[in-house]
Chains A and B, each alone.
Chain A
C-alpha cells in the first residue's frame, strides 16, 4: 500500500499533539516548580515511596561522584490512582531497588528533608521502565479500540478510502 503523505502528516500531527501531553499542564505547572536550566541525572537505591496524592514521590539515596556518600533526593511522579488502576501499588517498587532518574531540580533548590526533582524518566538500572504505561482506559470494550481487532494497524490507509 502506498503511503499518502497528506494523511501521514495529519496523523503525525495528531500523534504529536498527544506526545506532548505529558510535558504540559497537569495538577500544576511543572515549569513553575522545576528549573528547566537544572537537569539532574541521579543513580541510587530507592529508600521510600510516598504513595500519596496529588503526586507520588520516590525517594532515593543518590550516589555522589567519587564519593562513598549518598545524597537524599525525592522525585515527583504522577497520581498513584492511575497506577492502582493498572494493578500496581507502592510495593511494586521496593526500597533497595537501584534506579536511574533523569529530571530537573526544583527551582527552590531546597534540600531539606531531601533535594527535589521531577521524575521525567525513571528506570531500573538496566534501563527498563519501573512501571509500564498503558494506552487503555480501564473501560470495557466498546468497539472503538483497535486492540480489540487484533494487531495494531501499521499500514496507513489511502485518503480516498476514508
Chain B
C-alpha cells in the first residue's frame, strides 16, 4: 500500500468535509479498504475498458421507486433475460408482413441491442436513477430549460430541411444520448469506454462514436470561444480521486436524447466529475451539473463503471451513414408527393 502525503492530506480534508456537510453519505465515494493498483507516478491506475450498460436510467422512471427492493430488481433482471429468450425464439416463416402504421416503424431484433441486464447497485442499493440530488431522481429543469429541451426535440422530429438541423448523432459527430458525456450516460448499445493515463493527461475513448476526450491535468480551460463537441476538460488528482471539470460545449449537442432520457444542457454548462477506483472491477463515478439557465439547482449523479471485457471496437460512424441522406431524401420525396397530390386536384 502506498499513501502519498498529498493523498493523506486530501483524505483528512475530505473526512472533515464529510463531517461538516450533510448528507455526508452523498458527499464522498463509499468508504473502502481497497488499495488500487498504481501508475509509476503513484496515481491510481484506472486504465482499462469499462462499461456503464445498465437498466438504471438517468431519471427515475414513474413506475419505480428511487431505491428498488432487491427482489424487484432481481425480477426485472429476470424479465430482461426472459424477453431476450422470447426474442430469440423462431418466427413463423409463413407469417405475413408487419402491419402498416400500427406497430410502429423501425427498431431491431434484440441481437443488435446491449443495454444491460440489471439495475446498478450503488452504495449497496439497487437504484432506478443515477440522480441522487435532487432526491426525487428527476432533472430539476427551470421552465425555460424544459421549454428549450422540448423545442429542440420538436425541431428534430419535424425539421428535415438540411443536415445541420438534424441531431448530432445522425450527423455522426458524437454518439447519441450523452454516451460520450460528460456526464457519460448509458444508452441502447456500445456503452464502453477505455481509460488511458499519462502523467499530464487522461484520455477517455468512447466507443460510440469512437471519440477521445482528452483531459488535460493541472491546466486552465481554453478560451470560451473554443467550443468542443465533448466540451473542454481539465482535471487534477485530489488524493486518489480524479477530478475533471468540463465546459464550453458545442451548442449542437445541447439536446442529448436517447431512448430513456432527454438531457438538455447549454453550451456554458459546467460538469464536474469524480472518478474513484473502489475495487478491481468498479470505478465510482460522480458527476455534478451546473447550468443556472437550464436547471433550478446544481444536480448530482452517482454511477458505477464496471470493468468490461475488451476490446473497444471502432465506431466509424461516417463510413456508411446511409441514414442521414435517407432521412433527407425521404423528406424530399414526401414534399414531392404532397406537391403532385396538390397539383392534381
Contacts and interface: CB of A to CB of B under 8 A. Distances in A.
A146 B72 CA distance: 11
26 contacts: A11-B72, A11-B79, A21-B260, A25-B176, A26-B189, A28-B327, A29-B170, A30-B105, A30-B106, A34-B330, A37-B100, A53-B209, A53-B319, A54-B209, A54-B320, A77-B108, A82-B112, A118-B107, A120-B106, A120-B109, A133-B109, A135-B83, A136-B117, A137-B117, A138-B308, A138-B309
A157 B113 contact: no
A144 B330 contact: no
B63 interface: yes
A24 B107 contact: yes
Interface string A9-34: 01101110111011111111111111
Interface string B191-210: 11000000000000001110
B2 interface: no
Given A118-B107, A146-B81, 6 more contacts: A21-B115, A27-B169, A57-B320, A139-B306, A146-B78, A147-B77
Interface residues of B, number: 102
A81 interface: yes
Interface in B34-76: 51, 53-55, 61, 63-64, 69-76
Interface string A112-126: 000010111111011
B167 interface: yes
B188 interface: yes
Contact of B160 (A32, A82, A143): A32
A55 interface: yes
Interface of B: 51, 53-55, 61, 63-64, 69-84, 87-93, 95-101, 104-121, 126, 156-157, 160, 167, 169-170, 172, 176-177, 188-192, 207-209, 257-260, 281-282, 306-309, 313-317, 319-324, 326-327, 329-334
B95 to A, nearest CB: 7
Interface in A29-63: 29-41, 50, 52-57
B178 to A, nearest CB: 13
A162 B55 CA distance: 19
Contacts of B61: 14, 17
Interface residues of A, number: 92
B112 A78 contact: yes
A77 B194 CA distance: 25
Interface of A: 7, 10-11, 13-15, 17-19, 21-41, 50, 52-57, 76-86, 100, 102-104, 106-110, 116, 118-123, 125-129, 131-140, 142-147, 152-154, 156-157, 161-162
A25 B111 CA distance: 16
Nearest to B329: A108
A146 B76 CA distance: 10
B118 A53 contact: no
Contacts of B258: 25
B82 A125 contact: no
A135 to B, nearest CB: 4
B100 A39 contact: yes
